Amino acid sequence: MSSSEIWIAFYTILRREIRRFMRIWPQTLLPPAITMTLYFAIFGNLIGSRIGEMDGFSYMQFIVPGLIMMSVITNSYSNVASSFFSAKFQHSVQELLVSPTPNWVVLTGYVLGGVARGLCVGATVTVLSLFFTHLHLHNLFLTILIVLLTSVMFALGGFVNALFARNFDDVSIVPTFILTPLTYLGGVFYSISLLPDVWQGISMLNPVLYMVNAFRYGILGVSDIDVTWALVIICAFIICLFYIGLTLLNRGRGIRS
Amino acid sequence: MAYAIEIKDLKKRYGNGFEALKGINLNVEQGDFFALLGPNGAGKSTTIGILCSLVNKSSGSVSIFGVDIDKDFPGAKRYLGVVPQEFNFNVFETVFNVVVTQAGFYGIPTHVAEERAEKYLKKLDLWDKKDTQSRMLSGGMKRRLMIARALIHEPKVLILDEPTAGVDIELRRSMWEFIKELNEQGTTIILTTHYLEEAEQLCRNIAIINSGEIVENTSVKALLKTLSSETFVLDLDETIGEVKLDGYEIRLVGDGSSIEVSVMKGQNLNDVFAYLNDQNAKVVSMRNKSNRLEELFVKLIKGSK
pLDDT digits (tens, 9 = 90+) for B41-53: 888 889 999 998 8
* DSSP code of residue A58: E
pLDDT digits (tens, 9 = 90+) for B91-106: 899 999 999 999 999 9
Note down the domain range covering B252: 228-292
**Chain A contact present for B112, CB below 8 A:** no
Residue B258 — very low, low, confident or very high, per pLDDT cuts 50/70/90? confident
pLDDT at residue B163 tops 90: no
Total domains, chain A: 1
On whether both B31 and B121 belong to a single domain, the answer is yes
- B252 in a structural domain: yes
Total domains, chain B: 2
On whether both B32 and B103 belong to a single domain, the answer is yes
- A257 in a structural domain: no
- B263 in a structural domain: yes
- Name the residue of chain B whose CA is nearest to A100's CA: B74
- B108 in a structural domain: yes
Contacts of residue A102, defined as CB under 8 A and 6 or more positions apart, other chains included, come to A1, A6, B74
On whether both B108 and B162 belong to a single domain, the answer is yes
Say yes or no for a CB contact (<8 Å) between A257 and B56. Answer: yes
This model of the complex carries an ipTM of: 0.86
Q: How many CB pairs below 8 A link A and B?
A: 87
| Residue B215: CATH number of its domain | 3.40.50.300
On whether both B28 and B138 belong to a single domain, the answer is yes
- Name the residue of chain A whose CA is nearest to B75's CA: A100
| Residue B271: CATH number of its domain | 3.30.70.1560
Q: Could you tell me which residue, A17 or B264, shows the higher pLDDT?
A: A17
Taking contacts as CB-CB distances below 8 angstroms, the residues of chain A near B110 are 8
- A40 in a structural domain: yes
Distances B53 to A84, B77, B259 between C-alpha atoms, Å: 18, 8, 51
pLDDT given at position B7: 93
On whether both B195 and B243 belong to a single domain, the answer is no
Note down the domain range covering A180: 3-251
- B58 in a structural domain: yes
Taking contacts as CB-CB distances below 8 angstroms, the residues of chain B near A249 are none
On whether both B266 and B184 belong to a single domain, the answer is no
Closest CA to A70 of A115, A118, A25: A118
On whether both B160 and B270 belong to a single domain, the answer is no
Residue B304 — very low, low, confident or very high, per pLDDT cuts 50/70/90? low
**Chain A contact present for B80, CB below 8 A:** yes
Q: Return d(Cα B55, Cα B62) in angstroms, integer.
A: 13
On whether both B138 and B274 belong to a single domain, the answer is no
* DSSP code of residue A54: E
On whether both B23 and B56 belong to a single domain, the answer is yes
On whether both B78 and B42 belong to a single domain, the answer is yes
**Chain B contact present for A226, CB below 8 A:** no
Of B224, B239, B269, the position where a domain reaches its end is B224
On whether both B156 and B287 belong to a single domain, the answer is no
On whether both B34 and B147 belong to a single domain, the answer is yes
Dump the DSSP string for A124-180: HHHHHHTTT-----S-HHHHHHHHHHHHHHHHHHHHHHHHH-SSHHHHHHHIIIIIH
Taking contacts as CB-CB distances below 8 angstroms, the residues of chain B near A99 are 77, 102, 105-106
A98 → closest Cβ in B56, B77, B87: B77
SS (H, E, C) B87-156: CCCCCCCEHHHHHHHHHHHCCCCHHHHHHHHHHHHHHCCCHHHCCCEHHHCCHHHHHHHHHHHHHCCCCC
- B302 in a structural domain: no
- B299 in a structural domain: no
Q: Could you tell me which residue, A115 or B300, shows the higher pLDDT?
A: A115
pLDDT digits (tens, 9 = 90+) for B43-81: 888 999 999 889 999 999 999 999 999 888 888 999 999
pLDDT at residue A106 tops 90: yes
- A128 in a structural domain: yes
Mean pLDDT for B102-131 is 93
**Chain B contact present for A101, CB below 8 A:** yes
- Name the residue of chain B whose CA is nearest to A2's CA: B107
